[in-house]
Amino acid sequence: MVLLVFVDLDPDLAALRPLGGFFVLRTERAAARPLPTLAQAYRETAPDVCGNPLIFRVNKVADALRSPELRVAASVAHLGLAARLWSVALGCAALYDRIPDLDARLLHWDADGSAPDDLWLSDVRPLPGDAATLADTVLHGHLEPLAAALRAHYRLAPGLLRGNAASALAGAARELDRWARRHDRTDTVARARSLAAELLAHPLLAGTGTLTGTAFRRRSCCLYYRVPGGGVCGDCCFTRPPRSSPHAPSG
C-alpha cells in the first residue's frame, strides 16, 4: 500500500524548486520588459521574426543548433516548450495533487530566453490534479494551438508533433521518477507513473509510442538527427540516423 502525501498548493510553487530545470515555474513579475502570453504567441499570424514570438524562437533555436532547416528547429522548439509545460503540470499534480491554472492567457513566455523555456505565471489559481484536468490544461489548452501555429509556418507532420508531445510527457515523468526515488518518495513515484500512463492513453497521444516502466519508445522522429552533428534521441523510432534523411518518415 502506498500512502500518498501531498502539500498545499502555495503561491510560489516552492515544492517544484528542488526538481530544478524544466519543473520550476516563476510566479513573480521579474521581467524587465513586458512578456507576451503564450495565448498571444499561439494566435500571432505575423510571418516575420520581429512580430511573431514563435518564429523568433524557432530562428533562435536554429541559430543555436546551426541548423539550416527551420522545420527541424521548429520541432526542437516545440519539444522544448512541451517538456516545460508537462513538467510543471505533472510535477504539481504529483507533489500537490493540484495544478495551477496554466491558462495560456496567464502564462507569459520569454521567446528570447535560454533553455529551458522561461515561463512566468501571473496568477496561481488551483485546479484538480487528475489526468483529465492535465489533459485539458496542457494538451487542449497549449499543445493543440501550439501545433496549429507551428504547422501554419513550417512543414511539420501531425504525427511528429503528437510524438513530440508524448515524448515530452514521458521525459517529464521519467525525471520526476528519478528525483522521487533519490528522495525515497514512493508516493510521488506511484502518482507520476499513474498519471503518465493515463495521459499517454488519451486519444491525442494514444498510439504515439510504447511505455514500459519509465522507458518510452516513440513511433515517430523529432528530426534532431538532421542537426549538424546530431544523432537519434533515446526514445526515437530509429536506432541510427537514416541514410536517406531527406525522405525519412517523421510522422
Query: Per-residue pLDDT tens for 151-190?
Result: 999 989 999 999 999 999 999 999 999 999 999 999 999 9
Query: Per-residue pLDDT tens for 32-46?
Result: 467 899 999 999 988
Does some domain include residue 79?
yes
Does some domain include residue 247?
no
Whether the pLDDT of residue 30 is over 90: the answer is no
- Residue 100's pLDDT is 97
Does some domain include residue 24?
yes
Helix (H), strand (E), coil (C) string for the chain: CCCCCCCCCCCCCHHHHHHCCCCCCECCCCCCCCCCEHHHHHHCCCCCCCCCHHHHHHHHHHHHHCCCCHHHHHHHHHHHHHHHHHHHHHHHHHHHCEEECCCCCCEEEECCCCCCCEEEECCCCEEECCHHHHHHHHHHHHHHHHHHHHHHHCCCCHHHHHHHHHHHHHHHHHHHHHHHHHCCCHHHHHHHHHHHHHHHCCCCCCCCEEEECCEEEECCCCCHHHCCCCCCCCCCCCCCCCCCHHHCCCC
Does some domain include residue 251?
no
Q: Phi and psi of 231, rounded to 5°?
A: -125, -160
Can you give the pTM of this predicted structure? 0.92
- Residue 251's pLDDT is 55
CB 131, CB 203: distance < 8 Å: no
Question: Does the N-terminal peptide bond of residue 249 adopt cis geometry, omega within 30 degrees of 0?
Answer: no
- Residue 49's pLDDT is 81
pLDDT band at 5 (very low <50, low <70, confident <90, very high): low
Whether the pLDDT of residue 69 is over 50: the answer is yes
Q: How far is CA 229 from CA 115, 163, 221, 243, in A?
A: 19, 22, 16, 14
Share of the chain above pLDDT 90, in %: 80
Share of the chain above pLDDT 70, in %: 92
> Mean pLDDT over all residues of the chain?
91
Does some domain include residue 43?
yes
Does some domain include residue 9?
no
Whether the pLDDT of residue 8 is over 70: the answer is yes
Query: Per-residue pLDDT tens for 202-245?
Result: 999 999 999 999 999 999 999 999 999 888 999 999 988 887 54
Query: Per-residue pLDDT tens for 191-205?
Result: 999 999 999 999 999
**Number of domains present in the structure of the chain:** 1
Does some domain include residue 190?
yes
Q: Using alpha carbons only, how large is the chain's radius of gyration in Å?
A: 18
* Cell numbers linked to 180: 522521487
Q: Specify which residues 210 forms β-bridges with.
A: 217
- Residue 246's pLDDT is 46
Question: What mean pLDDT is predicted for residues 87-107?
Answer: 97
Q: Look up the domain containing 23 and give its range.
A: 14-240
Does some domain include residue 246?
no
